[in-house]
Amino acid sequence: MTKKMLFTLAVSLELYSNAHAQNTYLQLGEDEYHLLDRLETKSGILSDDLFLSGGPVSRKAEVHFFESILNNEGSKILLPKIDRYNIEQGISISGEWAKGGQGAIASKKYWFNTFYKTQADFFSINTKDFFLSVNPVISAQVMQEQVSIGGVSNTQSLFSSSRGAEIRGRIASRIGFYTYLTDNQEQANSYIAEWIENHQAVPGADYYQHEPDSKTYDYIQARGYVDFAIVKKYVTATMGYDKQFIGDGVRSLFMSDFAASSTFVKLNTKIWKLNYQNIYSEITPQYVRGADQQLPVKYSTTHYLSINATKWLNVGLFENVIFARGDHYSFGYLNPIIFFRAIERGYGSPDNVNLGFSAKAIVAKGFQIYGQLFLDEFKSKELFGSNKWWGNKYGVQLGAKYFDAFGIKNLDLQGELNMVRPYAYSHSDSVTNYSHYNQPIAHPLGSGFVEMIGIANYRPAKKLLFTGKLMYYKRGVDTGGLNYGNDIFRSYNSVANQYGVKMINGLSSTCMLMSLNGTYKIAERLFFDLGFIYRDYKYDNNYKPEQKSLSIYGGIRLNIARRAYDFM
């Protein structure tokens, strides 16, 4: 056994020593994702390097795509001045990957002849064998919320702030690394605070502190990874603690960045028109907060194969298994190819296996449609029958994007419909449901809902962006202690009814949310935000009082994506 282990280690080191392709990645939520999607769709041709549906996207692929757009300007896409400006800025913030490795825009004035030599980086070193970028991360936001519950109103003043640092780099073109660390204090508006108390979790965060008489949630956001090539430029391995997103929409029915970060190893194989991801994660099952304790763990293995079937059509195949084995991994699930259902049956254990299919099509230059089909469990006989069996657990997403809508430059529209059947994402026990750290891994609403989202982005000037959102959803509510399938954290062994289960099961609730945000770019990666959020949530049959909320906010942020409060 020792000889085999030494041989495996030797082979791994040999592969590593010959590796010359590593990456660092754009953090999820950055503005560049919208720009990449916009330019790819306007070009009419899917990139065989980007594969935007499997995020995060590498900075190397981002920069090379931007450079190709600039080099081919006039042949495929005519660039407006604002797009050209944003492309140049996108190359600058990842300038180490530009041709010649010096793509960052130089500052006109340095700080003490040391800091901000480039516009995007507070401190940077860029040599042949070593690159390092160090940036502060700062945000501060104030919010005034007027809350009305059953006609009784009150007003509260809230704030949130973050302070930390972001570091990324590469060593001898062999290892890429990234670290992000912030200390955060957050006073969430009323409906987010209610969600936090009900789920004992802060959306997107793991461990947090909260005094009973305080509005403030205190938590640390820590993310980081190392990345290196296994087989030249074709197969890369990333190991760290971070988030993933699979999909092309506002939401994902497969894997979203809503939940906390997790420990993971990701293998990414990119060859020809194929991109194949294997993600092995250690995640946290649901638990009840109390005294400090060592939390148990469960495991998740994900395969996502994305194929550019034609120049304009991308299709994807998704599968995932969540399992618990007393804090140890089932090595059969390391198999990168075979379907999990066969492995699961081989184990003789009903682990939580999920499948999915995705598609994205550029049907015209500037117009894109996309969708996902999520399959938790179903029987074809029951699926096509009329009895509405509870075990037909699936979700559907349909969406469209229209760039430079109606001939108006820099007006981008997006519409999306999401539907998830009751009991989807749940499982027979509270450990192996599709959750991490008391948060859904996929859609924030869980299951048993229909949701419609409309988004408009308008950039009238280089440094000014307006984003409007209109969201409406109808969702089932579990009442009377019965399980109508609207809470993914409950075991499906306690279903209220075997048949007659509708998309909206049990008592229903509706939510309408409108938001408008204006962002002004003060300097590179420094933004000022101003906006409002209006939300109206009510139950059928006056089960609980109607809840209305109007929040007006303003804030400043540096090197951090905007923290939105309009997601549920």
Residue 10, pLDDT score = 39
Report, in angstroms and rounded to the nearest whole number, the Rg of the chain calculated over CA atoms.
Answer: 24
Distance from C-alpha of 487 to C-alpha of 446, rounded to nearest angstrom: 7
Residue 17, pLDDT score = 44
Per-domain boundaries in the chain? 2-558
Element (H, E) at 17: helix 2-17
Distance from C-alpha of 273 to C-alpha of 129, rounded to nearest angstrom: 31
Residue 21, pLDDT score = 63
Residue 93, pLDDT score = 95
Question: 219 near 182, Cβ under 8 Å?
Answer: no
Burial class of residue 285, CB neighbours in 10 A (0-12, 13-18, 19+): buried
Residue 2, pLDDT score = 40
Residue 345, pLDDT score = 52
1 confidence band (pLDDT: 50, 70, 90): very low
CA 166 to chain CA centroid, Å, is 19
Residue 16, pLDDT score = 45
Q: Answer yes or no: is pLDDT of 393 > 90.
A: yes
Distance from C-alpha of 133 to C-alpha of 357, rounded to nearest angstrom: 38
pTM of the model: 0.93
Distance from C-alpha of 143 to C-alpha of 138, rounded to nearest angstrom: 17
Task: Give residue 5's region: left, alpha or beta (phi > 0; psi -120 to 50).
Answer: alpha
Judged by DSSP in three states, 134 sits in strand
Residue with tokens 């469990």: 377
Nearest to 96 by CA among 127, 55, 67, 52: 127
Summarize the confidence of residues 452-460 as an average pLDDT.
98
Chain segment 83-97, per-residue pLDDT in tens: 999 999 999 999 999
Residue 24 tokens, joined: 């660092």
Q: Answer yes or no: is pLDDT of 280 > 90.
A: yes
State the sign of the Cα–Cα–Cα–Cα dihedral 73, 76, 81, 84. negative
Residue 345's alpha-carbon distances to 178, 339, 348, 350, 504, in angstroms, are 39, 11, 5, 7, 32
Distance from C-alpha of 236 to C-alpha of 367, rounded to nearest angstrom: 32
Summarize the confidence of residues 358-362 as an average pLDDT.
98
Q: Above pLDDT 70, what percent of the chain? A: 92
Residue 22, pLDDT score = 78
Judged by DSSP in three states, 299 sits in strand
CATH superfamily of 2-558: Porin (2.40.160.10)
Question: 423 near 390, Cβ under 8 Å?
Answer: yes
Residue 293, pLDDT score = 76
Q: Answer yes or no: is pLDDT of 444 > 60.
A: yes
Residue 353, pLDDT score = 86
Residue 486's alpha-carbon distances to 420, 425, 426, in angstroms, are 10, 10, 9
State the sign of the Cα–Cα–Cα–Cα dihedral 488, 494, 496, 501. positive
Distance from C-alpha of 120 to C-alpha of 341, rounded to nearest angstrom: 47
Burial class of residue 75, CB neighbours in 10 A (0-12, 13-18, 19+): exposed
Q: Above pLDDT 90, what percent of the chain? A: 76
Residue 178, pLDDT score = 98
State the sign of the Cα–Cα–Cα–Cα dihedral 540, 544, 550, 551. negative
Question: 477 near 486, Cβ under 8 Å?
Answer: yes
Residue 459, pLDDT score = 97
6 confidence band (pLDDT: 50, 70, 90): very low
Chain segment 208-251, per-residue pLDDT in tens: 999 888 899 999 999 999 999 998 889 999 999 999 999 999 99
Four-CA torsion 308, 271, 90, 229, nearest 10 degrees: 150
Question: 89 near 103, Cβ under 8 Å?
Answer: no
Four-CA torsion 497, 449, 282, 53, nearest 10 degrees: 140
* Higher pLDDT among residues 146 and 22, named by residue: 146
Amino acid at 355: L
Burial class of residue 518, CB neighbours in 10 A (0-12, 13-18, 19+): middle
109 confidence band (pLDDT: 50, 70, 90): confident
Residue 529 tokens, joined: 């935000």
Q: Answer yes or no: is pLDDT of 9 > 50.
A: no
Distance from C-alpha of 314 to C-alpha of 36, rounded to nearest angstrom: 16
Residue 524, pLDDT score = 93
Nearest to 410 by CA among 470, 468, 465, 361: 465
Residue 287's alpha-carbon distances to 356, 447, 521, in angstroms, are 28, 20, 41
